[in-house]
Structure 1
């Protein structure tokens, strides 16, 4: 099973925590700063949780599947890593946070 290349953009003015729990002891947790784009690899059946700090404490702001956050991959020549990626559409938009699919090539 090939891992998915996923992305998440924090469109809020506060830090978010992205937590991924997948099959076979897969676990990934990252802090995403305001307006930062996080890209990561994970198994296809991974659950992705977005946590936010509110006045009542840390709350689960959004829950997505890795499949819905997957970036489109092209069979053409890959875009060099030093060039900026080009956003083509946002998916899973909820509140101020969204995941973004990026165009490659």
Structure 2
């Protein structure tokens, strides 16, 4: 899935996404920056920052909460391939 996270804080944060099949993504996001990334539907996203006492977990989200756009499938639009021959493969 295509996901997005905007850092609305005035501090740099670290976005970590963990998912099935050993999926792992870790990126630094600067203040007011938008990070676009791909994440499995079952992925968990954590937002971390560094405070005086060390790393601090700011937020924990599911990947679905950061979805930018719905995946396109004919079934999602209630479209049949008989009515739209251009959707057929082969």
What is the TM-score normalised by the length of structure 1? 0.65
Query: Is residue 14 of structure 1 aligned with residue 5 of structure 2?
Result: no
* More strand, by proportion: 1
How many residue pairs were aligned? 72
Structure 1's unaligned 5+ residue stretches are 76-105
SS of residue matched to 2:45: strand
> Partners of 1:67 and 1:12 in 2: how far apart?
22
Cα shift at 1:56:
1.3
Give the corresponding residue for 1:32.
Answer: 29
Give the corresponding residue for 2:45.
Answer: 48
Query: Is residue 23 of structure 1 aligned with residue 20 of structure 2?
Result: yes
Cα shift at 1:53:
1.0
Cα shift at 1:73:
4.1
* More helix, by proportion: 2
SS of residue matched to 1:62: strand
List structure 1 runs of 4+ shifted beyond 6 angstroms.
none
User: Of the two, which has the highest radius of gyration?
Assistant: 2
Cα shift at 1:74:
8.0
Cα shift at 1:72:
2.0
Structure 2's unaligned 5+ residue stretches are 73-90
